[in-house]
Amino acid sequence: MTHTAFHAGHVSKTCRCACRQQKLHCGDGQNLVTEDVTVVEGDVATISCRVKNSDDSVIQLLNPNRQTIYFRDFRPLKDSRFQLVNFSNSELRVSLTNVSISDEGRYFCQLYTDPPQEIYTTITVLVPPRNLVIDIQKETAVEGEEIELNCTAMASRPATTIRWFKGNKELTGKSEVEQWSDMYTVTSQLLLKVGREDDGVPVICLVDHPAVKDLQTQRYLEVMYKPQVRVSQNYPLQGLTREGEPLELTCTAFGKPQPTDMRWLRVDDEMPQHVVVSGSNLLISNLNKTDNGTYRCEASNAVGKSHADYMLFVYDPPTTIPPPTTTTTTTTTIPTTITDTTATTEPAVHGFTQLPNSAEELDYGDLSGTPVPLTASTEALPTVQLSNASLAFQPDSRAGEEGAIRSVDHAVVGGVVAVVVFAMLCLLIILGRYFARHKGTYFTHEAKGADDAADADTAIINAEGGQNNSEEKKEYFI
């Protein structure tokens, strides 16, 4: 592969003009033009001597030792690696195969004019690294350790640039360059602290060199680490751990090397006797409050030991509500159409109850369980729509468990209200009888001392103040 650095125009840095090199005025005369050549060792280099405004003058090519390689289309030099590619009055083009470092140097183009013109081209030979090697300090590292890696690129020209990567992340290393004759050896050092996430990750040494592309080598890290432990609850899958229910736990551990020892224990207390441990599983068939505590699963390998905890709290068992007592009630539906004057639809009521017309119907009709006949006075009674509270004891075949619970609550409330009403009635009756017995009772002082008198006259005479009163109170008859 030949790398040419050509810039258009004979006044560029890599394009040389013979008359300018000799500080001559070229005007519209002949000019020699050539370019520098960069080639990788072992590839082919092409040297071109071109003439502008040619007048059929002779062109020849000389090597760095100023030996003639080609004179016009004739090759005096006995080096078969030089081959004629093109010859004309305006160009002499020659190829050099299997280029080596010894071929590096200046090659001269000459034009036989008056005065003669001469221009040179430089061949630069690139040498890629002969070998690329990564040396690692420890083949197997332990989590948390810092390891040293060295990447060496040997016998290159020019010196290479080494870059480090861990996976897709670029790292920074420290490079040293050593020169041997015309060759360079570069060594880059990388210090890397490894963790469990680095196990199996490639560390790449990449070379930047103009003679080669994508030259790299890599080593896979091997990191040992202590177990990573996890406790999972198999049963119950969701919800609370309640008294009387079973509990099943499973312990899983991953490490490098794989954990060989795994055990269950109870933190700060002994393991209950009814707990069954089978390998990585722990089973409690019947939970109770004494099982509360922290249960730990420990796992260990050659690197170390680690654990995971499970905190158990046993809750009370769920309370069960007894099914409501079903009461059969006979109801009579009033066949009366109720007109709803509002736009809102009222919830459906499962039945209406006929009110009794008299005390006899209340005493005999309701107590006997027979329907109360509908009399003419029913039309005067207002239609009563029963609320949900009044129908609490009337069973509904479409009601579920929630309706039954509500019925029980309403029955309790109704019983409490009935007891309060009965107590108030009893209190009213007692107060009424008390006031009735003490109605009109009062005391006077007119007959004091009359209890011991034999007759009414004596009682009047013996009454306290009776004599005085007889004297003070006088009656006059006209």
Q: Does the predicted model carry a pTM greater than 0.85?
A: no
Residue 442 covered by a domain: no
User: Higher-confidence residue: 52 or 352?
Assistant: 52
Three-state DSSP class for residue 342: coil
Residue 433 pLDDT class (50, 70, 90 cuts): confident
Assess if residue 243 is contained within a domain: yes
Residues 41-50 as b/e (b if ≥16 CB within 10 A, e otherwise) read bebebbbbbb
- Shared domain check, 149 and 114: no
Q: What CA–CA distance (Å, rounded) separates 231 from 253?
A: 9
- Percent of the chain as helix, strand, coil, to the nearest 5: 15, 35, 45
User: Rounded to 10 degrees, what is the CA torsion of 212, 214, 217, 219?
Assistant: 160
Average pLDDT, the chain: 77
pLDDT 10s digits, 273-300: 999 999 999 999 999 999 999 999 999 9
Q: Can you read off the two tokens belonging to residue 347?
A: 């919830």
pLDDT digits (tens, 9 = 90+) for 105-120: 999 999 988 888 999 9
CA dihedral 281, 286, 287, 288 (to 10 degrees): -140
437 against 36, higher pLDDT: 36
- The answer to whether position 330 is within a domain reads no
The β-bridge partners of 215 are 207
pLDDT recorded at residue 435: 85
Q: What is d(CA 272, CA 78) in angstroms, rounded to the nearest whole number?
A: 100
- Exposure string of 129-157, with b = 16+ CB inside 10 Å and e = fewer, is beebebebeeeebbbeeebebbbbbbebb
Residue among 230, 224, 204 nearest 144 (CA): 224
What is the pairing mode between strands 2-5 and 141-142? unpaired
Number of Cβ within a 10 Å radius of residue 225: 23
pLDDT of residue 321: 63
CATH number (domain holding residue 276): 2.60.40.10
Q: Is residue 57 part of a domain?
A: yes
| Same-domain pairing of 175 and 206 | yes
At 242, is the secondary structure helix, strand, or coil?
strand
pLDDT for the residue 372: 36
Note the residue count of the chain.
478
- The verdict on 104 and 63 lying in the same domain is yes
Pull the structure tokens for residue 295: 């249960």
Helices then strands, each counted (H, E), the chain: 6, 26
Please report whether residue 334 resides in a domain: no
Phi (first) and psi of residue 158, to 5 degrees:
-75, -170
242 lies in the same domain as 186: no
Residue range 158-199, pLDDT digits in tens:
999 999 999 999 999 999 999 988 899 999 999 999 999 999
Quick one: pLDDT band at residue 369, thresholds 50, 70, 90?
Answer: very low
Is the per-residue pLDDT at 384 higher than 60? no
Taking the C-alpha atoms of 341, 345, 349 and 355 in order, what is their torsion angle to the nearest 10 degrees?
-10
Within a domain: 200: yes
**pLDDT class of 34 with cuts at 50, 70, 90:** very high
- In 53-182, DSSP assigns E strands to 59-62, 68-71, 82-87, 91-96, 105-111, 117-126, 131-136, 141-142, 146-156, 161-166, 169-171, 174-180
168 & 250 share domain? no
**DSSP letters for 384-409:** -PPPTTTTTTS--TT--HHHHHHHHH
At 197 the pLDDT is 95
Distance between CA atoms of 32 and 20, rounded to whole angstroms? 10
Q: How far apart are CA 161 and CA 187, in angstroms?
A: 10
What pLDDT shows up at residue 5?
Answer: 35
Choosing from 277, 312, 347, the residue where a domain stops is: 312
Cα–Cα distance measured from residue 191 to residue 336, given in angstroms and rounded to the nearest whole number:
97
CA–CA separation, 60 vs 73, rounded Å? Answer: 9
Q: How far apart are CA 193 and CA 141, in angstroms?
A: 10
Strands 117-126 and 36-40, sheet pairing: parallel
Distance CA 196, CA 226 (A): 9
For residues 119 and 149, state if they share a domain: no
Looking at 214, 246, 281, which one is the last position of a domain? 214
Domain boundary among 312, 327, 358: 312
Q: Which of 127, 213, 221, 210 is nearest to 165 (CA)?
A: 221
Q: Indicate if 148 and 114 belong to the same structural domain.
A: no
Asked if 276 contacts 285 with a C-beta cutoff of 8 angstroms, the reply is: yes
Tokens of 288: 């109770």
First to last CA, the chain: 177
Helix runs in 316-465, H state only? 359-360, 366-368, 401-437, 456-462
76 plus 100 within the same structural domain: yes
Residues 112 and 167 reside in one and the same domain: no
Q: Is 353 helix (H, G, I), strand (E, B) or coil?
A: coil
pLDDT at 334: 41
User: Range of 299's domain?
Assistant: 226-312
Q: Max alpha carbon distance in the chain (Å)?
A: 202
- Could you give the number of structural domains in the chain? 3
pLDDT at 257 over 70: yes
| Digit-coded pLDDT (tens) for 62-111 | 999 999 999 999 999 999 999 999 999 899 999 999 999 999 999 999 99
- On whether residue 114 sits in a domain, the answer given is yes
Mean pLDDT of 222-251: 93
pLDDT tens profile 126-145: 999 988 999 998 899 999 99
Residue 320 has pLDDT above 50, yes or no: yes
Note whether 39 and 117 are same-domain residues: yes
Q: How many CA atoms lie within 13 A of 258 on its CB side?
A: 1
User: Would 326 be classed as within a structural domain?
Assistant: no
Q: Assess whether 166 and 122 both reside in one domain.
A: no
Tell whether 63 and 141 lie within a shared domain: no
